[in-house]
Amino acid sequence: MSARSTNAEDYQRIRPAVAAMPKDFAPGETVRPHRHERAQLLFAVRGVMQVTTPVGTWIVPPQRAVWVPPATEHALRMIGAVAMRTLYIAPAAAAGLPAQCQVIEVSPLLRELILAAMEEPVDYPPGSRGALIAQLLLHEIEGVGALPLHLPMPQEQRLRRVCRLVLERIGADLGLETLAAEAGMSSRSLARLFLRETGMGFQAWRQQARLAEALKRLSEGQPVALVAADLGYASPAAFTAMFRRSFGTTPSRYFAQPLRR
């Protein structure tokens, strides 16, 4: 390729182990379910992405990234305008990287390496600056930690019905007994099956769902007070405390990120 393509298929069978593709998306734009031969690191320079696979959903805030292993079916939805910078990593080079999707924190060094890779030739030669950047990228990705931005979805149909109800009424305080009746089972059976299917207790799952919804709304510029009220928190302070426990900072600081490149 002589020019930087925005077609993902152009990056699957090239020689370099790491290939970089910049692409911008309009608010609300979607990408239908698909899969690639290569692994992907999707980095949101600006905007929020929602990545969905058959087993769950990941919310990717600005200046964070989502790791998608090779051949993983996934769909995308943009929340606001998104400036996406994607690394396509050959399966052999990704062998030591996570086997599951996860959202990761992007350190200042990893951020600069991703952006620098976008400026190198796609088919950079061995030993070149592009090749050295690719080596450093793989090393940095190996050391990152996952963020609590995964919302696992159960496969059992009754539980999926419960999850849909919770998501539709995300700010409502629906009790376990009410939801169990909706599923046609006891509250104890619901709690036990939910933990087995998702790996999370129901209350933790609902908080995760509210956190994901909060990220989407905050990224659209909604005030903290409105988001807190809509999601069922007693006060903006209670919501901010929950947000700080999850991310180590306040909502305003979390979204105060550089927008260059």
- Mind listing the pLDDT tens digit for each residue in 221-257? 899 999 999 999 999 999 999 888 887 888 888 776 5
Rg (CA), the chain: 20
CATH architecture for residues 8-142: Sandwich (2.60)
d(CA 17, CA 4): 16
pLDDT in tens, the chain (261 residues): 446 899 999 999 999 999 999 999 998 899 999 999 999 999 988 888 999 999 899 988 888 899 999 999 999 999 888 999 999 999 999 998 989 999 998 989 999 999 999 999 999 999 999 999 999 999 999 888 888 788 898 989 999 999 999 999 999 888 889 999 988 999 999 999 999 999 989 989 998 899 888 988 887 789 999 999 999 999 999 999 988 888 788 888 877 655 445
d(CA 16, CA 129): 13
Homologous superfamily of the 156-254 domain (CATH): Homeodomain-like (1.10.10.60)
- Token couple for 253: 């600081």
pTM above 0.85, yes or no: no
**In the chain, domain spans:** 8-142, 156-254
Residue type, 37: E
Domain 8-142 shares a fold with domain 156-254:
no
d(CA 97, CA 69): 8
